[in-house]
Amino acid sequence: MTIKVTVWGENVHEQTNEVVARLYPEGMHACIAAALNQDAQIEARAVTLQDPEQGLPEALLDDTDVLLWWGHAAHGEVRDDIVDRVQARVLQGMGLLALHSAHYSKIFKRLMGTTCSLRWREAGERERLWVVNPGHPIVQGLGSYIELPHSEMYSEPFAVPNPDEVLFISAFEGGEVFRSGLTYKRGNGKIFYFGPGHETYPIYYDAQIQRVLRNAVKWATPEGSRWIDSCPNVPPDQAPDPVEVKGESLHKPGEEGFK
């Protein structure tokens, strides 16, 4: 089975910051998509905020198993109707990977229901991401930690709901720590937040970071059929037949045969 992946990037820093333009001449979104396409099971395409429908028309989302989101300088420019349609697809089963500053994106805050604020410092410090859940599919193939020589510092408190699972805890040179790999379930969709990925450092070229992203795509891929949110009125004559359990029919209270 081919996993269809869409990498969304706001594509602003690549056009306004010379350092980012040199590091990612084709854009961070293209770099991430290329890393994902190293896996024969994954078919990744890159879109940006500047594309029609801000890169996310209904037809594209309908054809997406997992969406990766990188945003930073233009969170406010994302239209609310785009956020609505992405949220609907996540609830139906599409996976979502929120990368780095996407903690402050409209879609991540919508799905979390909190401010998603944190403490930060950009000083090019070393970040060591400790693997704290070594049995999880997302961390397979890694050692005890990933070390990035230069990274932006993110630290606690991180104002997100308690996650289903914590996969990474980052330690920085200044002594701060940060829950940098978190999983959630919203509706039928799986969500993974991954902290590293500041635009002025070559983090998305790191082989271990790329491995995490490929593993996370496979983990977040929908299982089973799409769940469609609806609340229909079901007349009694359209109610499902009683369930048979060990040869006995189960009825609702008040029905003949209820025990």
Neighbouring-strand partners of residue 155: 119
pLDDT band at 233 (very low <50, low <70, confident <90, very high): confident
CB 166 within 8 A of CB 178: no
**Is residue 154 one of the residues assigned to a domain?**
no
CATH number at residue 9: 3.40.50.880
User: What pLDDT is attached to residue 257?
Assistant: 47
Beta strands 66-70 and 95-99 are parallel
The DSSP symbol for 188 reads T
**Percent of all residues in the chain with a pLDDT value above 90, rounded to a whole number:** 85
Q: Is 80 exceeded by the pLDDT of residue 190?
A: yes
Residues 6+ apart with CB under 8 A from 170: 127, 128, 129, 130, 154, 177, 178, 179, 180, 195, 196
pLDDT of residue 187: 94
CA distance 106 to 122: 23
Burial 82-98 (b: 16+ CB within 10 A, else e): bbebbbbbbbbbbbbbb
**Which amino acid makes up residue 219?**
W
Residue 229, pLDDT score: 76
The C-alpha angle 249, 251, 256, rounded to 5 degrees, equals: 100
> SS3 for 83?
helix
Per-residue pLDDT band for 236 (boundaries 50, 70, 90) equals confident
Looking at every residue in the chain, the average pLDDT score rounds to 93
- Given a cut of 80, whether residue 64 has pLDDT beyond it is yes
- For residues 157 and 226, the model is more confident at 157
Domains identified in the chain, total number: 1
pTM exceeds 0.85: yes
pLDDT at residue 235, rounded to an integer: 87
Mean pLDDT of 21-38: 97
pLDDT at 230: 78
Residue 132 lies in a domain: no
In-domain check, residue 240: no
- Whole-number Å distance between alpha carbons of 120 and 1: 40
Confidence of residue 240 (pLDDT cuts 50, 70, 90): confident
User: Poorest-confidence range of 45-59, 67-81, 86-100, 240-254?
Assistant: 240-254
In a domain, 81, yes or no: yes
Instruction: Please report the pLDDT score of residue 253 as a whole number.
Output: 53
Cα gap 121→125, rounded to integer Å? 9
d(CA 169, CA 10): 27
Is the alpha carbon torsion for 172, 178, 179, 181 positive or negative? negative
What is the predicted pLDDT for the residue at 258?
43
Inside any domain, residue 252: no
pLDDT of the residue at 259 = 45
Nearest-angstrom CA–CA distance, 119 and 122: 11
Average pLDDT of the segment spanning 16-36: 96
Does residue 148 sit within a domain? no
Tens digit of each residue's pLDDT (9 = 90 or more) over 96-134: 999 999 999 999 999 999 999 999 999 999 999 999 999
Residue 145 lies in a domain: no
Note down the domain range covering 25. 3-114+181-220
So what's the pLDDT on residue 22? Answer: 96
**What span, in angstroms and rounded, lies between the C-alpha atoms of 16 and 119?**
25
